[in-house]
A and B are shown apart, each in its own frame.
Chain A
Amino acid sequence: MNETEQAVRTALTDWAAEVSARPGLAGAVLARNTRARRRRRALLSCVAAVVVLAGAGALWVVAPWRTPDRLVPAAPPRPADSAPPSPVDFGWLPDGFDTEQLDLVPPGVWRLTATSGREPIEVTISDQELTPTRGTGRTGTVDVNGVTATTYSVPPHEVGAPPYGTNPPDADGATEEITWQRKPGQWVRVHLHFAGGKKPLAATGEELLRVARGLRDTERRVPALVSIADPTGLHVVASQYDEWRGATINLMRGSGKVWITADSGEKDLTPWMIRLGNADTITGYAGFRDVEPVLETRELPGRTVLRKRSYQALWKTALVRFPENQVAVVLVPKNTSDADLMTLASGVTPGPDYIPVRR
């Protein structure tokens, strides 16, 4: 065994030794199993309820007693703490792709995903031009509802096998991608990639094309992950959810830049940000650790707001603790007053669509 292999072996052994036994693991698994069963039952109940309501709604629409000139109330204005809806929604999806999600990703690009448990079909919708991927795969064209789209395709292959190089993602496995300008000011990319070497993708290129052709001009609401009682002129420019990391919300004032450039030249997001997730994983975020002293505490119904010392150059932070071990880290620019930080943080609560992050 050479020195590198010995060093790796030692490093792995030392690293693993830092993990101690997890008491109650079996109980946690059983409880999780119970929750999963409940979720499945709840989902089935919801589907049944939706079917019943949809039927009732259809009857109402065609009811003979309804007058044709009935006034339809205008849609309420979008609250400042909600993200703008996606202008496009899925129309057709392959069988099994029944877990859908919508995020608004910086700097203002919607990402619709649908998964069957493995790699997701991702649809990116942008008002800026999306450049088709160029790599070791094959580029072509295809017709999407009368518009010529650019395709990019890497077939399943052994990881790292020629001619797909050694750099991910091409080296790792298959990719199918379709990019086109769907209408003026709207570019769309439908993408599927699986880092599984020779294993085929969860959907075929033909199915991906059918997904692209089936996209509908229907607004889809971005989930309300965080509620902000007093946004003080801020509005949501990005909203993302991850079942492990929780919610990440980026806010902006006016029409300023989403990105800022640090002294090092690296691009950072504008520092108005809220992270909401499990306390055990999130409190290490943004240098928000126990070594940093609490400067101010505010007890509110159902939550505690803590302002802590920040060692960061660009921002200052507050922490909001909620039941179920959930916590929000609120980051604001360094020049924000402490009072404004506490006002913003005090108004932060989990939104109606937020699912508490499990451990």
Chain B
Amino acid sequence: MDPNGFDAYVAAHGTPLLRFAFLLTGNYHLAEDMLQEALMRVHRRWSTLERTDAIGNYVRRAILRQYLSWRRRRSSGETPSATAPDVALPGSDHAERYAERDALRQALTALPRQQRAVLVLRFYEDLDDTAIGELIGCSPATVRAHASRGLARLRGTVHELEGGRLR
């Protein structure tokens, strides 16, 4: 495998990028779809791209652009999404841990896309506000505003978890 080739790049960076897309969408298949779309663009320009960390930012920006510009969720009104009873019984330690983890994830999932993107970039990718602003196309002040609002929404969930009063 050519160490500077596209295959080598994907082998080295594919999983972190997939995880990044997954944290944005919360859905493995959508994440992979977005990542493939972004990598497809990289592949078309591979011969002209600089072999630097900038490729990673290019892919992240492409993923973010897809994520932030998704057409408004088509309101089909469909609701048959309830699942069968889980194996773990309510009240067991396993069930409680699962429920706590799930509550925070659901709260993250319910955030507006810009806020969620900012939180993922700040707390998972460890980027500062300037770098986040460059990636999503806004000022550091706007990034701070998104982060502040997102965290405020999540704060209630965290407090409920710590008080053992999951709702």
B18 touches A (CB below 8 Å):
yes
Given A25-B14, A359-B32: A13 touches B142 (CB 8 Å cut-off): no
Stretch at the interface among B48-56, B74-82, B88-96: B74-82
Rounded to whole angstroms, the CA-CA distance of A120 and B137 in the bound complex is: 20
A29 touches B (CB below 8 Å):
yes
What's the interface size class on A, roughly?
35 or more
Q: Which of A11, A28, A196, A238 has the most CB of B within 10 A?
A: A11
A172 touches B (CB below 8 Å):
yes
Within 8 A of A (CB), among B144-163: 145-146, 149, 151, 154-155, 158, 161-162
A347 touches B (CB below 8 Å):
no
Contacts of A285 in B (CB 8 A): 80-81
Contacts of B11 in A (CB 8 A): 26
A26 touches B7 (CB 8 A): yes
Residue from A5, A19, A284, A331 within 8 A of B151 (CB atoms): A5
A61 touches B (CB below 8 Å):
no
Contacts of B10 in A (CB 8 A): 25-26, 29
Contacts of A248 in B (CB 8 A): 76, 78
Residue from A16, A29, A159, A358 within 8 A of B145 (CB atoms): A159
Instruction: Name the CB-closest residue of A to B68.
Output: A195
Stretch at the interface among A82-90, A176-184, A209-217, A268-276: A268-276
Instruction: Name the CB-closest residue of B to A22.
Output: B18
A220 touches B (CB below 8 Å):
no
Contacts of B72 in A (CB 8 A): 169, 193
Residue from B19, B84, B113, B119 within 8 A of A16 (CB atoms): B19
Contacts of B19 in A (CB 8 A): 16-17, 19
Stretch at the interface among A30-38, A44-52, A71-79, A127-135: A30-38
A8 touches B123 (CB 8 A): yes
Residue from A7, A19, A105, A266 within 8 A of B18 (CB atoms): A19
A174–chain B nearest beta-carbon distance, Å:
13
Instruction: Name the CB-closest residue of B to A29.
Output: B39
Within 8 A of A (CB), among B26-55: 27-33, 35-37, 39-40, 43-44
Contacts of A12 in B (CB 8 A): 23, 108, 119-120, 123-124
A315 touches B84 (CB 8 A): no
A286 touches B81 (CB 8 A): yes
A291 touches B (CB below 8 Å):
yes
Rounded to whole angstroms, the CA-CA distance of A30 and B10 in the bound complex is: 11
Q: B96-134 interface mask toward A, CB cutoff 8 Å, 1 = contact, 0 = none?
A: 000001001100100011100001100110000000000
B108 touches A11 (CB 8 A): yes
B6 touches A (CB below 8 Å):
yes
B153–chain A nearest beta-carbon distance, Å:
10
Rounded to whole angstroms, the CA-CA distance of A356 and B35 in the bound complex is: 19
B14 touches A4 (CB 8 A): no
A13 touches B124 (CB 8 A): yes
Residue from A158, A280, A359 within 8 A of B142 (CB atoms): A158
A242 touches B (CB below 8 Å):
yes
B29 touches A281 (CB 8 A): yes
Given A4-B151, A11-B105, A248-B76: A172 touches B119 (CB 8 Å cut-off): no
Given A25-B18, A33-B40: A119 touches B71 (CB 8 Å cut-off): yes
B69 touches A194 (CB 8 A): yes
B151 touches A8 (CB 8 A): yes
A333–chain B nearest beta-carbon distance, Å:
12
B36 touches A11 (CB 8 A): no
Residue from B37, B40, B105, B142 within 8 A of A159 (CB atoms): B142
Q: Which of A20, A28, A193 has the most CB of B within 10 A?
A: A28
A195 touches B32 (CB 8 A): no
Given A8-B123, A29-B39, A119-B71: A289 touches B84 (CB 8 Å cut-off): yes
B40 touches A29 (CB 8 A): yes
Rounded to whole angstroms, the CA-CA distance of A137 and B112 in the bound complex is: 20
A206 touches B (CB below 8 Å):
no
B141–chain A nearest beta-carbon distance, Å:
8
Rounded to whole angstroms, the CA-CA distance of A15 and B31 in the bound complex is: 13
A103 touches B (CB below 8 Å):
yes
Q: Which of B32, B76, B158, B162 has the most CB of A within 10 A?
A: B76
Contacts of B29 in A (CB 8 A): 244, 278, 280-281, 359
Residues of B with Cβ closer than 8 Å to A?
A: 6-7, 10-11, 14-15, 18-20, 22-23, 27-33, 35-37, 39-40, 43-44, 68-69, 71-72, 74-85, 87, 101, 104-105, 108, 112-114, 119-120, 123-124, 137-139, 142, 145-146, 149, 151, 154-155, 158, 161-162
Smallest CB-CB A-B distances: 9 pairs: A26-B10, A16-B19, A286-B80, A12-B124, A26-B7, A9-B123, A311-B84, A29-B39, A25-B14
Besides the known contacts A8-B108, A12-B123, A158-B139, 6 further A-B residue pairs in the complex with CB atoms under 8 A apart: A17-B19, A106-B76, A119-B69, A159-B145, A268-B80, A281-B27
